[in-house]
Amino acid sequence: MVSWIISRLVVLIFGTLYPAYYSYKAVKSKDIKEYVKWMMYWIIFALFTTAETFTDIFLCWFPFYYELKIAFVAWLLSPYTKGSSLLYRKFVHPTLSSKEKEIDDCLVQAKDRSYDALVHFGKRGLNVAATAAVMAASKGQGALSERLRSFSMQDLTTIRGDGAPAPSGPPPPGPGRASGKHGQPKMSRSASESAGSSGTA
């Protein structure tokens, strides 16, 4: 565990941050020699990081595995051994030069296939989203129709009758009441005339 922590710190500080700072100085000073030196280092370090991903899984049990990683990073950076320049000139550059055309063709094909796959899955995703939206809308419309059908005409009439306001105040007078009020004095007048006529007789 301690060896793993120390190796990670060494790779992070001396294998990544230190070369990154000197690469910045090389770009800033526009020194072609330093620029080429650190470019070769980054190519080797990229291959080392790729291999490290698998060796950490299958070779971590090997004795002094993490110590060997620390020693390898120090060998790559040392100005006396020039390990990165040696590995690049002896192995990496000849291999990449002989396979460069094939690698470029594979990259172009992978780029085209990835673009086609991206377009295909994008269209498929849009179709699925549109289908889901249409299904949700149709289900909502069906639920609304069933809700409206559940109301019968009697329910609507009841709702309308419950909502109508009740009449306030006394009812208007009818024609019978009006005739009654005006007819009462006429009856008393006729009764008085009949009484008078009987008295004179």
Amino acid residing at 56: D
Q: Identify which has the larger pLDDT, 131 or 37.
A: 37
Instruction: Give 199's pLDDT tier (boundaries 50, 70, 90).
Output: very low
Q: Among 46-60, 65-79, 126-140, name the one with the lowest average pLDDT.
A: 126-140
| pLDDT higher than threshold 70 for residue 143 | no
Cβ atoms of 71 and 15 within 8 Å: the answer is no
Place of tokens 């995703």: 125
Q: Which two tokens stand for residue 188?
A: 């008393």
CA angle 99, 105, 109 (to 5 degrees): 145
* Integer Cα distance of 65 and 74 in angstroms: 15
pTM for this predicted structure: 0.56
Per residue in 22-47, pLDDT tens?
Answer: 999 999 998 889 989 999 999 999 99
pLDDT computed for residue 111 by the predictor: 83
* Integer Cα distance of 78 and 72 in angstroms: 10
How far apart are the two ends of the chain, measured CA to CA in Å?
A: 149
